[in-house]
């Protein structure tokens, strides 16, 4: 009996020494969550809604189900003492330090983040891991749906002996000022409504020549496509409005009509508004010039869209 015991113990020791854990160089699985715009999703560049507001309506049971639906379970365990898989065990991660699992080989990108995982940081991280920690090993597109993301964070927060208290939304977070319609415009630029009130379509037309739009676009009714589509009737028309033009999926993914706000954002930096677009044009950084061009585009219609009310 005793010899058998010792032998068992020894083989265990030898075994441990023979098998060296080798971290995977690359993730075996890549799971992308579709990121098409569903109601409740934040537009590409806008700040995320405050996590306290989202968590107030979150449901941890739905969050647990989401970790299965979204594929977190392919890489993570969630029980206390659970093993690492492709990703670390997640018990106790909320309020714990970044890279909280002892012995797990985290990327430098994640280890560089100091301090505890707050609710706000998890909101950013799970929205887009590659943006929160560029270079992270977590090859997961992110959860673009606000409700789903909050549910998952709420669930993670229950994985603890003494769960962190949920944050209470401030009055300002609960009742954001009405100016939020202008939130689509990047910070610093005046709202397009204000600029359009004093915009000049003739200057805008001159700008389309000066800035080189005419190298790729025609503007007359029935004009042919060039490198880019004809732009007659684009204001108020649908995104990718020219029938028969071969638009990118990036642009076609934007639904609904081209509003002034959206044109204002698009023309500021096409590659930021629709990453992957074929419109290889850096953008018009000057807000006044942008408004003039939009005002000109507006006139290209038998019945131009009214200017926005101020």
Binding mask 147-176 for ligand HEC (x = CB under 6 A): -----x------------------------
Stretch touching ligand HEC by CB under 6 A, among 9-17, 48-56, 104-112, 298-306:
104-112
291 near ligand HEC, judged by CB under 6 A: no
Binding mask 62-91 for ligand HEC (x = CB under 6 A): -----x--xxx-xxx---------xxx-x-
Q: Give the residue ranges of DSSP H helices in the chain.
A: 2-18, 51-56, 60-69, 108-111, 119-127, 129-132, 146-158, 171-174, 192-197, 201-210, 249-252, 260-268, 270-273, 287-299
Tokens of 59: 């449901």
Binding mask 212-251 for ligand HEC (x = CB under 6 A): xx-xxx---------xxx-x--x----xxxx----xx-xx
Diameter of the chain measured on Cα atoms: 98
Measured from the CB atom, the residue of 174 and 202 that comes closer to ligand HEC is: 202
* ∠ CA 67-68-74, rounded to 5°: 95
CB of 195 to ligand HEC, least distance (A): 15
157 within 8 A of 150, measured Cβ to Cβ: no
Q: 3-class DSSP state for residue 113?
A: coil
Q: 3-class DSSP state for residue 151?
A: helix
CA pair distance 63, 60, nearest whole angstrom: 5
List residues binding ligand HEC (CB under 6 A): 27, 29, 31, 67, 70-72, 74-76, 86-88, 90, 93, 98-101, 106-107, 109-110, 126, 133, 136-140, 143, 152, 208, 211-213, 215-217, 227-229, 231, 234, 239-242, 247-248, 250-251, 267, 274, 277-281, 284, 293
């Amino acid at each position: 009996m005793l010899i058998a015991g010792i032998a068992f113990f020894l083989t265990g020791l030898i075994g441990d020494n023979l098998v060296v854990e080798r971290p995977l160089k690359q993730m075996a699985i890549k799971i992308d969550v579709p990121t098409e715009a569903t109601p409740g999703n934040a537009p590409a560049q806008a700040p995320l809604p405050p996590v306290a507001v989202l968590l107030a309506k979150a449901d941890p049971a739905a969050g647990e189900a989401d970790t299965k639906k979204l594929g977190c379970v392919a890489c993570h365990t969630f029980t206390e003492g659970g093993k690492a898989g492709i990703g670390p065990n997640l018990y106790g991660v909320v309020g714990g330090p970044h890279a909280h699992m002892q012995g797990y080989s985290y990327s430098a990108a994640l280890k560089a983040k100091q301090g505890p995982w707050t609710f706000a940081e998890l909101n950013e991280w799970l929205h887009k891991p590659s943006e929160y920690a560029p270079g992270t090993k977590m090859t997961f597109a992110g959860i673009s749906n606000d409700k789903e993301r909050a549910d998952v964070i709420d669930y993670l927060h229950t994985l603890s002996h003494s769960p962190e208290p949920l944050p209470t939304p401030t009055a300002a977070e609960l009742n954001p000022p009405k100016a939020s319609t202008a939130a689509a415009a990047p910070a610093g630029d005046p709202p397009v409504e204000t600029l359009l009130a004093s915009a000049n379509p003739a200057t805008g037309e001159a700008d389309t020549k000066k800035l080189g739009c005419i190298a790729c676009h025609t503007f007359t009714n029935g004009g042919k496509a060039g490198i880019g589509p004809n732009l007659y009737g684009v204001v108020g028309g649908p995104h990718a409005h020219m029938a028969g033009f071969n638009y990118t999926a990036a642009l076609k993914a934007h639904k609904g009509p081209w509003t002034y706000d959206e044109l204002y954002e698009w023309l500021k930096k096409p590659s930021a508004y629709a990453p992957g677009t074929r419109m290889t044009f850096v953008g018009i950084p000057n807000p006044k010039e942008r408004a003039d061009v939009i005002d000109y585009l507006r006139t290209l219609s038998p019945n131009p869209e009214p200017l926005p009310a101020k």
